[in-house]
Amino acid sequence: MKKILLSLMAVAGIAATASAQLTDGTVFPDFTLTDIHGNVHHLYDDLNAGKTVFIDISATWCNPCWNYHNSGALDTLYAKHGPLGQPGVYSTSTNDVVVLFVQGEPTSHLAELYNTAGATAGSASVETPYATSSQGDWTAHTGYPIIDDTTSSDPVVGTQALDNAWQIAFFPTVYMICRDHLVHSLEQPTAAQAYAAVASGCPATPPATGTSLDAKAIAYTGSGYFVCTATPTLSFLNYSTSPITSATITVKDGTGTVVGTQAWTGSVASLDYQNVAFTTPITGTSFSGYTFSVSVPGDINPANDAFTGSTFSIYDAANAQAIPYTEDFSASATLSDKYIFLEPNGFATVASAMNNPSSPGSSLDVTGPSGSSPDTVLLLDDYDASHNTAASVNHNYAIPFLYGNYNTTGLTHETLQFDVAYAARTGAPATDSLKVLVSTDCGGSYQTAWAVGGAALKTAPDVATNWFVPTAATQWKHMSAPIGAYANSNLMIAIEGKNPATASTGMSIYLDNIKFANSTAVAQVNLEDNVAIYPNPARDMANLNFNLSDEATIQVEVSDVMGRIVSTISQHVNAGTDKIEVPTASLAAGVYNVKITNGESVTVKKLSVVK
């Protein structure tokens, strides 16, 4: 679960790769918050009054947050530069700064802020609930407003604000929002550093005065990807004292060629911003490298018209990857821009770059399918911690990881192969699932091309803790998904991990060595004389033994006497003698049909299950 991972990493003050902070230079979303004393704080009212707003987002259980809070840096900033007339603010204050503290752990409450009855002393851990942990009384000797996200009246505060709108990557996070609504992240600044950042990063007055106009392109924050064509929403800021009533947004590709324009009319006030949605789709000419600029009549400062940072990517047939294509995640400690998440709450990361929940401050020591340790693998975090309160358990949590777009025109035997590691929690059923999703209509819809779940997904023994980390090569299994039926010049492929819809038993899934390839040879599984199933009768596990002349993907379906499929397995095996395990512990006693399929060859075996 994303929030739990965020919390685990924040214990050591280490940034989570689950999400990044808000990009410097982007618009900070407006809010109206009520502090613990009932006072209301409206962000844009403060900004429009010429104030610079500092927000410290911390968690009561977080030791680095506590240390920074007790350093007095923000107390000094508030005293010297805060609103005149407020308690603790000097009469000589510059009166141009607002400081807010936001308790950012949505499962904590006022008891943790005040460190009163019910709060647990010290940092949180896998064993210690985040909801009740506190480092001390956060209100003591603090003059600036304190806001608790569980008691404030603004519905945007809490999990959605922190994980999405505010994009909190670690605790403590310190944001500076300038009067032009743009945000800048600061690394636990001293009072002097914070106030110096106002002078260096925030505009004192709009550069264009009188009737002169100045439009500034704002950093892109929209959808990270489009398929076939793009309809982005791009933004600009009015750096003039006069309103801007018309503008044109121009998008260029990496070669500087104009690929789209969008005209806008309306009225945007001084130091306010405007979002401009493209109504005419932009046809992609490359995967990435797109920039945009804003132009207004009589702009006196063209230097800030263009935004040349990261914008969006367009997956189209022109940049579809040829196969075979392999990704083993060894090239970098971060995910490539090629990989994107189909859902805004999606979280996958390179596991070796993560903090170890069992040992905060150290990396996650994963043993990969080759036996090397630490290995760099992909983690699909559909983790669902059972120790969370019922309100925060994230059931039916899906992580669709976009593997990219591929040209498979004319191919019929494509397979997506990968190594998987997954274990269930002791005493709980294995109910997570892994799917391969495909789209042949430019990302308009996705369909399930292959799926495995439950006991068939398990690769390692159950674990007693709330976190499974592969520790041996034997805890990995090679699987293969046949997707030859979906040939397309721009085939989109995603891999989705999903936890159960109704039970608090979800666990994370590890992937490595993802390979998309086409096999022209169809290995044959000889019939009755070449497939053995044992033990038969079986109690907890049956094994299928067979010989292959070539490597192949084997599909196994287990059905009951009524013809209902009760489990499925897909596994890629090498040439020669091989074995596939068929879990039977969860099956009722009785007789089952085991159907083994590979390409053009099919065989069916009878299997008895006893209890």
pLDDT, residue 390, reads 35
330: which residues sit within 8 A by CB, 6+ positions away? Answer: 376
Percent share of the chain, pLDDT over 70: 79
Confidence of residue 503 (pLDDT cuts 50, 70, 90): low
Residue 51 has pLDDT above 80, yes or no: yes
Residue 346 has pLDDT above 60, yes or no: no
Nearest Cα to Cα of residue 542 among 529, 552, 531, 526: 531
pLDDT, residue 572, reads 73
pLDDT, residue 128, reads 47
pLDDT, residue 43, reads 94
pLDDT, residue 155, reads 43
H, E, C per residue of 77-88: HHHHHCCCCCCC
Residue 62 near residue 189 (C-beta atoms within 8 A): no
In terms of C-beta density within 10 A (0-12 exposed, 13-18 middle, 19 or more buried), how is residue 23 classed?
middle
Question: Which of 353-362, 434-443, 470-479, 483-492 is least confident?
Answer: 353-362
pLDDT, residue 335, reads 57
pLDDT, residue 150, reads 57
pLDDT, residue 502, reads 58
Mean predicted confidence (pLDDT) in 378-397: 51
Confidence of residue 336 (pLDDT cuts 50, 70, 90): low
Identify the three-state secondary structure at position 455: helix
Confidence of residue 213 (pLDDT cuts 50, 70, 90): very high
Q: What are the extents of the domains in the chain?
A: 2-201, 215-315, 320-518, 532-609
Amino acid, single-letter form, for residue 293: S
pLDDT, residue 181, reads 92
pTM for the full predicted model? 0.71
**Among positive and negative, which fits the CA dihedral 162, 167, 171, 177?**
negative
497: which residues sit within 8 A by CB, 6+ positions away? Answer: 380, 381, 382, 398, 399, 401, 432, 433, 434, 508, 509
Nearest Cα to Cα of residue 235 among 291, 209, 273, 196: 273
Cα separations in angstroms, 286 against 220, 223, 263, 407: 18, 17, 24, 15
Question: What does 476-539 look like in DSSP terms, one character per residue?
Answer: -EEEEEE-GGG--TTEEEEEEEE--SSSS----EEEEEEEEEE---------TTT-EEESSSBS
Residue 107 has pLDDT above 50, yes or no: yes
pLDDT, residue 436, reads 93
47: which residues sit within 8 A by CB, 6+ positions away? Answer: 53, 177, 178, 179, 180, 181, 271
Across 28-42, 43-57, 323-337, 569-583, the highest mean pLDDT is recorded for 43-57
CATH topology of domain 320-518: Jelly Rolls (2.60.120)
Report d(CA 494, CA 563) in Å as an integer.
30
Report d(CA 417, CA 482) in Å as an integer.
9
Strand-pair category, 97-103 with 146-148: parallel
pLDDT, residue 186, reads 95
pLDDT, residue 158, reads 44
The CATH classification number of 2-201 equals 3.40.30.10
Tell me the per-residue pLDDT of 123-177, one tens digit each, with 9 for 90 and over. 554 444 566 788 999 999 899 999 986 554 444 444 444 545 787 778 899 999 9
pLDDT, residue 565, reads 83
pLDDT, residue 504, reads 56
pLDDT, residue 363, reads 56
**Among positive and negative, which fits the CA dihedral 455, 461, 463, 467?**
negative
Residue 361 has pLDDT above 50, yes or no: no
Average pLDDT, the chain: 81
And the tokens for 42? Answer: 């409206």
pLDDT, residue 78, reads 97
- Half-sphere CA count of 238, side-chain side, radius 13 A: 23
pLDDT, residue 149, reads 64
506: which residues sit within 8 A by CB, 6+ positions away? Answer: 1, 382, 383, 384, 394, 395, 397, 431, 432, 499, 500
Residue 407 or residue 553, greater confidence: 407
Fold agreement (2-201, 320-518): no
Residue 462 has pLDDT above 80, yes or no: yes
Task: Look at domain 532-609 and name its CATH class.
Answer: mainly beta
pLDDT, residue 131, reads 67
Mean predicted confidence (pLDDT) in 584-599: 86
Residue 131 or residue 357, greater confidence: 131
Mean predicted confidence (pLDDT) in 469-482: 89
**Among positive and negative, which fits the CA dihedral 249, 251, 256, 258?**
negative
Tell me the per-residue pLDDT of 255-294, one tens digit each, with 9 for 90 and over. 999 999 999 999 999 989 999 999 999 998 889 999 999 9
Amino acid, single-letter form, for residue 140: A
pLDDT, residue 89, reads 96
Residue 470 has pLDDT above 60, yes or no: yes
Strands (DSSP E) contained in 328-455 are 340-341, 348-350, 378-380, 398-406, 414-421, 433-439, 447-453
CATH architecture of 215-315: Sandwich (2.60)
Q: What angle do CA 561, 562, 567 make, to 5 degrees?
A: 75
Confidence of residue 595 (pLDDT cuts 50, 70, 90): confident
Tell me the per-residue pLDDT of 163-185, one tens digit each, with 9 for 90 and over. 457 877 788 999 999 999 999 99
Residue 231 or residue 208, greater confidence: 231
Residue 331 has pLDDT above 90, yes or no: no
pLDDT, residue 120, reads 67
Residue 18 has pLDDT above 80, yes or no: no
Question: What does 539-603 look like in DSSP terms, one character per residue?
Answer: SSEEEEEEEESS-EEEEEEEE-TTS-EEEEEEEEE-SEEEEEEEE-TTSPSEEEEEEEEETTEEE
Residue 385 has pLDDT above 60, yes or no: no
pLDDT, residue 109, reads 78
Mean predicted confidence (pLDDT) in 497-524: 73
